[in-house]
Amino acid sequence: MGHHDVSDGKTCAGGRREKYLAQLGRFADYCFVPLTVLPTITLSVAILGFPLLLSLIMSFVAWSIDEPVWEAEFVGLRNYRDLLADPVFVASLFLTLGYTAATVCLEIVVGLAIALLLNLNLPYIRFFRVALIVPMMVTPIVAALCWKLLLDPTYGLVDYLMRSPIIWLGDPMLALITVGGVSVWQNAPFVALLVLAGLQSLPKDVMEAATIDGATRIAQFRHITLPFLSPYLLVALLLRTIFEFRAFDNVYVMTAGGPANATLVLSIYVYQTSFFSFDLTLASAASWVMLLVVLATCLFLIAAMRRREPD
Amino acid sequence: MRFSSRSYRTGFYYACVYGSLICLLAIFLLPLLWLLGLSLKTREQIFTTPPLFLWWPTLENYVAVLSEGNFLNSFWNSFLVTASTVLVSLFAGVPAAYTIARYRFAGRQLIFFSLLVMRMLPPIAVLLPLYVMFSLGGLINSRMSLILAYTTFSLPLVVWITRDFFKGVPRDLEEAAYVDGASRFGAFFKIALPLARPGITTAAILSMLLAWNDFIFAAILTNSATRTSPVLLSTYAGSETGTDWGAIAASGILVLVPVIVFSLGVQKHLVSGLSSGPVNDARVR
C-alpha cells in the first residue's frame, strides 16, 4: 500500500508515463497470440524452413562449389536420376531401411520383455526401474566409444569373456549387426519404460476377472495385455523409427560407414557427399529422398494409429 | 508348510525373476561400469591381456585429461551451448505452448503440423544448407550457430510437453484473475506458469539432453576452438595410433556425469516427456 502512496504523489509527467505504460500493456495484450507464437515460428522458419527450401532448390540445379551462385542452372530431376543411378546410394537406402526395421523390431521385442519383467510387484523393483534409465541418457558418442573399447579384439572385455578373438567391426556382416546392437542396447530401455507406463495403467479388475474365468497366462497376455498395450507399442515404433532412420553417431564412431560400405547408412552417405566430395546438389537430392521416405513412413504409421482408435 | 511344494515353487520363481533382473542390470550397466573402471586404471593396467578385475584405482587419467586444455575447453563449450539452448528454447517455446493450449487462432493447425514434421526431420537433411547459410552469415564455427540449431530442434519437444501441462491447468484460475483485472500476460506469468512448473522442468532437461548429447551438428558447425565434448571425444576414435584408452574413458565418464545426475532428478517425467508430442496426441485423440 505504501507503493500506492508514492505513485499518487508523482508528478504529472509520471502519471502520463504510467498511462502510456498501461496503454502499451493493453496493446501487448491485444497482440498476445502473435507475440507468444512469433519467436517459435521465426526460429523454425529461419533455421529449418529456409534451409529446407535452399536444399530443395539445390537439388534441382547443376552447380559446383567453385562456381559463382548465379551460374547454377535448373536441370529438373537430373540430380535425382543421377542419385538413383548411383549404386552406392541405392545400396545405402536399402541398408538403412533394413537397419531401421531390424533395430526397431529388436528394441520393441526386448523392450516389451523387459517391461513385463519390471512390471512384477516385487520388493526393490523400483531400483531396477530407475537403474534402467541410465543407458538411454548416455551420450551416444560415449556409448559407441565404450563399446568400441569393449569389443576390441586384443584388449576388449567381450572377446576375453568369449575366449575367442572376434573382429566385430572388421567383418562387413558382423559390423552392421554390432553397430545396430549398440543402438538396441542404448534404446531398448526407453521402449521398456514407455511400455511399463502402459502396463501400469492396465485396469486391474479386467485381469482379475480373466483369472477368475480361468484364462491362462498366455491367453491373458494375448487377448488383454497386448491389445491394451498396442497404442504404447505404436508410439515406441514411431519414435524409434524416426531415430533409427537418422542413425549417425554410433556408426560414425564405430565404423565410419566401413568396412567396404557395409555400414554406410543414409546419414553417413549424405555427410560424406556433402562434406568430403562437396557434391552439394547430389547431397541435397539425397537429403530430400531421405526426408520423403521418413515422412511417408511416419505419416503411414500415424494413420495406422488413428485407424485403430475407433475399435 | 515350510517345505510344501508351493513354497518351493515360489522360491524358485523369485530366484528366476531376480536372477533375470540382475542379468538385465549387468547387460545394461556393466559396459558403463567397465568404462568407469578403465578410467581408474593406469596405462599398463589397461593393456594387460587377461583384463584386470581388481586393482588399486588411480586418478591419473582424470588429472591428465583435466590438466590438458582441450577437454576443459570443449566441456566449457558444451556447458555454454547447452545452458543457452535450454534458456532460449524455454523462452521461445513455453509462451507458444501456452497460447496453443489456450487460444484458437488462424494457423494453429499449421503450427501443429510443422512441429510434427520438425520432430521427424533427420538433422543431416538440413545440415548442409544450414552450413552454407551460417557460412554466408558469418556464424560458422561459432557457439551461436549451435545454440540456434539446438534450440530449433528442441522446440517441438518443449512446446508439446509444456502444452500438455498447460492443458492440465484449470482455466477457472485464469478466468478469476481476469475478473480481478489481470492482463493476459499477467495471467500467464502469475498463474499458468507456476502451475506448469513440472512440465517446464521436464522440457528443460530434455532440451539439455538434446544439446549436451548431440554430435552431428557440432561436428559440422564448430572448429577446434568452439567444439563440444562429443566432437572432441570422436577425434579419439579416429586416431588408431595414439589410442589413449584411459583418457577416452575418463573424459567419457566426465561427460556422462552431468546428464545422469540431472536426468535422474526428473526420472518420473522423463519417459512420458520423450514420448509426448504430436505422436502421443495422435494416440489420445
A266-311 per-position pLDDT tens digit: 999 999 998 888 888 899 999 999 999 999 998 888 888 777 655 4
For the ranges A28-42, A84-98, B164-178, B221-235, the one whose mean pLDDT is highest: A84-98
Check whether residue A10 and residue A123 sit in a common domain.
Answer: no
For residue B254, the enclosing domain spans: 63-284
Q: What is the pLDDT of residue B58?
A: 83
Tell me, yes or no, if A221 comes closer than 8 A to chain B by beta carbon. no
Q: How far is CA A73 from the centre of its chain?
A: 35
CA distance B111 to A11: 47
Instruction: Kindly determine whether residue B29 and residue A134, on different chains, have CB atoms separated by under 8 Å.
Output: yes
Of B105, B152, B256, the CB nearest to A33: B105
Q: Are A111 and A197 in contact (CB under 8 A)?
A: no
C-alpha R_g of chain B: 24
Residue-level pLDDT, tens digit, chain B, 285 residues: 445 556 667 888 888 888 999 998 899 999 999 999 888 888 778 787 777 778 888 888 898 888 888 889 999 999 999 999 999 999 999 999 999 988 888 888 888 788 888 888 899 989 989 998 898 888 888 899 999 999 999 999 899 888 888 888 888 888 888 888 888 888 888 888 888 888 898 889 889 999 999 999 999 999 888 899 999 888 877 655 457 888 888 999 999 999 888 888 777 777 777 776 544 544 333
At residue A308, the pLDDT reads: 67
Q: Is there a single domain that holds both residue A19 and residue A137?
A: no
For A250, the domain range is 81-308
Can you give the C-alpha Rg of chain A in angstroms? 28
Q: A248 vs B216: CB contact, 8 Å cut-off?
A: yes
Q: Does residue B98 share a domain with residue B15?
A: no
A239, B275: Cβ pair inside 8 Å?
A: yes
On whether both A96 and A21 belong to a single domain, the answer is no
A-proximal residues of B, 195-234, CB under 8 Å: 209, 212-213, 215-216, 219-220, 229-230, 233-234
Average pLDDT over residues A17-28: 84
Alpha-carbon distance B89 to B228, whole Å? 19
User: Higher model confidence: residue A98 or residue B246?
Assistant: A98
Nearest-by-Cβ selection for A133 from B229, B255, B264: B264
User: What are the cell numbers at B152?
Assistant: 530449433
Q: What value does the mean pLDDT take over residues A130-156?
A: 87
Q: Do A36 and B98 touch (CB under 8 A)?
A: yes
Residues A44 and A103 in one domain: no
CATH code of the domain containing B220: 1.10.3720.10
d(CA B23, CA B13): 15
| A4 in reach of chain B (CB within 8 A) | no
φ and ψ of B243, to 5 deg: -75, 105
Give the mean model confidence (pLDDT) for residues A126-131: 87
Q: What single-letter DSSP state applies at residue A70?
A: G
Instruction: Determine, for residues B24 and A298 on separate chains, whether the beta-carbon distance falls below 8 Å.
Output: no
Binary contact (A47, B237; C-beta < 8 A): no
Query: What's the number of domains chain B is made of?
Result: 2
Q: Are residues A240 and A278 in the same domain?
A: yes
A158: closest CA among A166, A150, A170, A148?
A150
Q: Are residues B163 and B217 in the same domain?
A: yes
Establish if A294 touches chain B: CB-CB under 8 angstroms. Answer: yes
A39 lies in the same domain as A100: no
Q: Is the domain of B85 the same as that of B183?
A: yes
End-to-end CA distance of chain A: 61
CA distance A46 to A37: 14
Distance CA A85, CA A79 (A): 10
Q: What is the pLDDT of residue B136?
A: 86
